[in-house]
Structure 1
Amino acid sequence: MLTSKVAKRYAQGLLDFTKESGQTDAVFAEMKDVVKLMSESKDLNKFFLTPYIDANKKTEVANEIFKSFSPVSQNLIRLIIKNGRESQLKNVAQQFINKVEDINGIQRITLTTATQLSNENIEQILKSTNLVNASANFDIKVNVNPAILGGYILRVGDQQIDASVKSQLNKIKKDFQLN
């Protein structure tokens, strides 16, 4: 998914500010909460995306939802709403998380499988490839997608290994069509 320039700019501004004030770790945890909340609550997303609800009402709701957050995070959320960018709130939070993880040298790994795997199997997959730096810290997200039929799709940063049965079948199909 492409992230907008708006989200990247807000995230960079927040990162610069938190570095100066020494609040990066606290805001990092709060931005993780924002992403989690926005991912889990369809109603909250609909509320923020509704154009006929004015910014003042959205700000009141956001103040109540995020009242336990630090003033820095609260001010960012209010600023985003005031500027009419509430549709980008989750993206801004995710971009901030990504930037902090990049600074800390954390690799983001996404593993998509057809069925749920054990931790041992996940470790074997990670060890079998040279994309994963064994000495680095990593944040792994495991997705289950039965549509890939079997195998796995491993994405590390901007590199991907597609060892899924579906892609293998598609490759065979394409070869048959060419011959």
Structure 2
Amino acid sequence: MRSREIARRYAEALYRLSYEEGCVDQIEADYRRVLAEITEVPDFGRFLTHPLVSREEKNGLVEQSFPQILDYLRNLFSLLIRNGREDYLELIYEEFLTLRAEEEGIIRVKVATAQELSLEDRDGLVNRLAKALGGRVELKERLDPDLLGGVRIEVDGKVVDGTLRAKLEGLRTLIEG
């Protein structure tokens, strides 16, 4: 079974449970907080995924570090540790967000730009995309100075590349023929 499929199954179970219990927002916030901590403290993530660290020690670290998270999330982490799938944490969160977006009719769009979008440009882009795609749009922005200018948009694996870099590469291909 592929990684994304495995992550999707865990995410579906977590989403279904959190939806039934009315705590989707809290689970998402807690999960985001845990991932932020793992990212900010690289040794934390290495400890959780290290094969020589016992399950008990890993669970103890999670209990100690995050006493305030909901039990459902703590149980998920414990299950992942027991099954040796600690490295799926981030992928499960991504799948959880995707499920939530699907359930709420939100279209998740990835946008890459060379420079940060102004608030006005961002709002304009969101409005145009919402009209074109026929739904509520949630942007995930990423800065990529290599793009030189313009915008690269990705929706459901489809890419619209309106960047200066792409235009220059197209021109070079045309010239080199």
Task: Establish whether TM, by shorter chain, passes 0.5.
Answer: yes
What is the Cα deviation at residue 149 of structure 1?
0.8
1:108-143 residue CA offsets vs partner (Å, 9 max, x unmatched): 12221111221111223344555443xx33322221
Kindly tell me the number of residue pairs found equivalent between the two proteins.
175
Q: What's the counterpart of residue 29 of structure 2? A: 29
- Counting aligned pairs with the same residue, the percent is 24
1:19-78 residue CA offsets vs partner (Å, 9 max, x unmatched): 344433332332233343344443322222222212211111111222101111111111
CA contact (8 A) 1:8 1:92 kept: yes
Report the aligned-residue RMSD: 2.2
Q: What's the counterpart of residue 152 of structure 2? A: 153
What is the 5 A alignment of 1:22-171? 22-129=22-129, 131-133=132-134, 136-171=135-170
CA contact (8 A) 1:31 1:97 kept: no
Matches of 1:125 and 1:22 in 2, distance apart? 32
1:55-109 residue CA offsets vs partner (Å, 9 max, x unmatched): 2111111112221011111111111111100000111122112211210112212
Q: Which structure 1 residue ranges, 4+ long, deviate > 6 Å from structure 2?
A: none
CA contact (8 A) 1:132 1:156 kept: no
Matches of 2:149 and 2:116 in 1, distance apart? 11
What is the Cα deviation at residue 158 of structure 1?
3.0
Question: Judging changes above 3 Å, is the alpha-carbon distance between structure 1 residues 124 and 16 closer, same or farther for their aligned structure 2 residues?
Answer: closer
Matches of 1:31 and 1:100 in 2, distance apart? 14
Question: Judging changes above 3 Å, is the alpha-carbon distance between structure 1 residues 39 and 97 closer, same or farther for their aligned structure 2 residues?
Answer: farther
CA contact (8 A) 2:126 2:139 kept: no
1:151-177 residue CA offsets vs partner (Å, 9 max, x unmatched): 111123333211011111111222223
**Uncovered stretches (5+) of structure 2, i.e. residues with no partner:** none
Task: Return 116-125 or 75-84, whichever deviates more.
Answer: 116-125
Q: TM-score, normalised by structure 1?
A: 0.85
Matches of 1:40 and 1:109 in 2, distance apart? 25
Q: What SS is found at the alignment partner of 1:4?
A: helix
Code of the aligned partner of 2:118: S
**Uncovered stretches (5+) of structure 1, i.e. residues with no partner:** none
